[in-house]
Amino acid sequence: MAITGVTRPGHAQLRVLDLEKSVDFYKNVMGLVETGRDAKGRVYFKTWDERDHNSLVLRQSDQAGIDHFAFKVLDRATLERLDSDLRAYGVATERLPAGEMLGTGERVRFEIPTGHIIELFAEKDFVVGRDRLVNPTPWTPQSEHGIAPLRMDHALLYGPDIDGNVKLFTEVLGFSMPEYVEHDDDGSKIAVWLTCSNKAHDIAFARYPEQGKLHHVSYLLESWEKVLRAGDVCSMHNVKLDIGPTRHGITRGTTIYAFDPSGNRFETFCGGYQCYPDWEPIRWPLSELGAGLDYPQRKLHESFLTVVT
Amino acid sequence: MLHKHHSISVLDCEKTFPCRDGGTVFSALVSSKTGVMINGCRGGGCGVCKIEVLSGAYDVDGVMSRAHVSAEEAAAGTVLACRISPKSDLVVRLRGKLRPSSVSH
Ligand code: FES
Ligand SMILES: [Fe+2]
């Protein structure tokens, strides 16, 4: 399909309890590149291979969790159209001026039914060097430092009204739903995977009693071997793994979950399939969620449903 | 034992576990063997390891999310087990979630 409308995840802004400890973690364990600090004290990062100015923003706070998750839309006209579509649907939107975040154009901000703040923007500075655009090398010294993912890929967010989110994302923002988990007895949705592209997911939601919770922000790696290497890098820095290395049944990605120094979970993963918006969604009964989460072990790890920030 | 240890008595299950001097209380209580805590973020962010220290001395290492522990609670000994290490034997009560009994699947 042509990628139009909402094109991809743009950035996550996370709250951290100790800024410098977190900056050190994201630079040297995750292997991201620091691209700036703003007057509010926020620190900006991108992966070695990303072209946009930032995909992760850290903000010092007394609580962990996610401030907002943002998507890049095709152009300014798309941003205007989606803003008015959201309002017509009954969602209140707010504008943040260009430059409120470093290197980032005007943003449209709104709250979704699970209590998370989502933003849309059309413009972000390209900070890619000429050497990456003309006759580029396949890897660089930066791509070997720490985990060094290719890109920030998606997030899994927890909150009560995931049905409201599905309706909003599919009816207004043009997402489709490749996979979902439903309750065996009443068929209610427990978790949903949504895409605006032909990735198996650009964002996912799971039902949880509290509003606005972060389960994980996920980073894409090139191969299963790099997933294993990410596990090595974590161990070398005394970062205990939460789950994995293993493979999800849902989306089929190979994966590791672990936590940043504030307890915000991250994922480093590889693979998963490409899908198309006309496909019938894949259904997982809740009783098979263990296989959906950790296919080789068919294990529903307790922390998956309970540990969030 | 090679290292100096303190004992952590958990009132909820009437069991006592050894905790290495300098180790976190969380690391002593987490594991399927203790049956007290199963997993957590280990970073003071998720709140699953919340405990109330009824007696004993401890050091606080790192920040605890205010979403889970208020300043008043912290001053009165309600803390996150992943952010404290014992300086003496401790008696504690569990205040968080993610105990084996709370896992329903
Ligand atoms: S394990 Fe998450 S706050 Fe202690
Ligand atoms: Fe994920």
Average pLDDT on A110-137 reads 96
Return the structure tokens found at B49: 């390891």
Please report which confidence band the pLDDT of residue A309 belongs to, taking 50, 70 and 90 as the band edges.
Answer: very high
CB pairs under 8 A between A and B: 81
Residue A33 lies in a domain: yes
Q: Do residue A154 and residue A138 come from a single domain? A: no
Residue A186 lies in a domain: yes
Average pLDDT on B25-46 reads 89
Average pLDDT, chain B: 89
Q: Do residue A227 and residue A259 come from a single domain? A: yes
Residue B52 lies in a domain: yes
If you measure from the C-alpha of residue A290 to the centroid of ligand 1, how many angstroms do you get, rounded to a whole number? 23
Return the structure tokens found at A148: 């060094």
Measured from the Cα of B41, ligand 1's closest atom is 2
Domain hosting B22: range is: 5-92
The domain boundary, picked from A82, A116, A143, lies at A143
Q: Do residue A100 and residue A26 come from a single domain? A: yes
List A12's β-bridge partners, or say none: A56, A69
Q: Do residue A277 and residue A170 come from a single domain? A: yes
Closest CA to A37 of A50, A29, A26, A48: A26
Please report which confidence band the pLDDT of residue B37 belongs to, taking 50, 70 and 90 as the band edges.
Answer: confident
Average pLDDT on A288-298 reads 97
Helix H or strand E encompassing B25: helix B25-29
Residue A214 and residue A66 in contact, taking contact as beta carbons nearer than 8 Å: yes
Residue B103 lies in a domain: no
Q: Do residue A285 and residue A155 come from a single domain? A: yes
Whether ipTM > 0.85 holds is yes
Q: Do residue A91 and residue A175 come from a single domain? A: no
Residue A295 and residue A243 in contact, taking contact as beta carbons nearer than 8 Å: no
Q: Which of A62, A259, A305 is nearest residue B41 as measured by Cβ atoms?
A: A259
- The pLDDT value given to residue A217: 98
Q: Do residue A139 and residue A221 come from a single domain? A: no
Please report which confidence band the pLDDT of residue B33 belongs to, taking 50, 70 and 90 as the band edges.
Answer: confident
Q: How many CB atoms lie within 10 A of CB A144?
A: 11
Measured from the Cα of B82, ligand 1's closest atom is 4
Task: Return the residue whose CA atom lies nearest to atom 3 of ligand 1.
Answer: B44
Sheet holding A107-111, edge to edge: A33-37, A43-46, A56-60, A6-16, A65-73, A117-121, A107-111, A93-96
Residue A174 lies in a domain: yes
Residue B56 lies in a domain: yes
The domain boundary, picked from A143, A177, A208, lies at A143
What total number of domains does chain A contain?
2
Q: Do residue A194 and residue A277 come from a single domain? A: yes
Measured from the Cα of B37, ligand 1's closest atom is 1
State the CATH number of the domain containing residue B35.
3.10.20.30
Ligand nearest to the CA of B38: 1
State the CATH number of the domain containing residue A59.
3.10.180.10
pLDDT at B2 over 70: no
pLDDT at B102 over 80: no
- The pLDDT value given to residue B31: 73
Ligand nearest to the CA of A266: 2
Average pLDDT, chain A: 97
Q: Do residue A153 and residue A139 come from a single domain? A: no
Closest CA to A208 of A271, A248, A158, A280: A158
The domain boundary, picked from A143, A159, A191, lies at A143
pLDDT at A80 over 80: yes
- Closest residue in chain B to residue A308, using alpha carbons only: B46
Q: Do residue A61 and residue A203 come from a single domain? A: no
Over residues A160-217, the pLDDT tens digits come to: 999 999 999 999 999 999 999 999 999 999 999 999 999 999 999 999 999 999 999 9
Residue B105 lies in a domain: no
Residue A1 lies in a domain: no
Residue A165 lies in a domain: yes
Task: Spell out which residues line ligand 1, taking CB within 6 angstroms.
Answer: A 263; B 26, 40-42, 44-49, 80, 82
Q: Do residue A204 and residue A130 come from a single domain? A: no
Cα separation, A186 vs A176, whole angstroms: 23
Cα separation, A61 vs A57, whole angstroms: 13
- The pLDDT value given to residue B5: 92
- The pLDDT value given to residue B34: 78
Residue B48 lies in a domain: yes
- Closest residue in chain A to residue B30, using alpha carbons only: A303
What total number of domains does chain B contain?
1
Distances in Å between the alpha carbon of B27 and those of A220, A223, B41?
A: 30, 32, 11
Domain hosting A174: range is: 149-306
Please report which confidence band the pLDDT of residue B105 belongs to, taking 50, 70 and 90 as the band edges.
Answer: very low
Residue A143: burial class (beta carbons within 10 Å; 0-12, 13-18, 19+): middle
* 3-class SS of residue B74: helix
Determine, for residues B43 and A260 on separate chains, whether the beta-carbon distance falls below 8 Å: yes
Q: Do residue A46 and residue A11 come from a single domain? A: yes
- The pLDDT value given to residue B103: 37
If you measure from the C-alpha of residue A150 to the centroid of ligand 1, how many angstroms do you get, rounded to a whole number? 29
Please report which confidence band the pLDDT of residue B35 belongs to, taking 50, 70 and 90 as the band edges.
Answer: confident
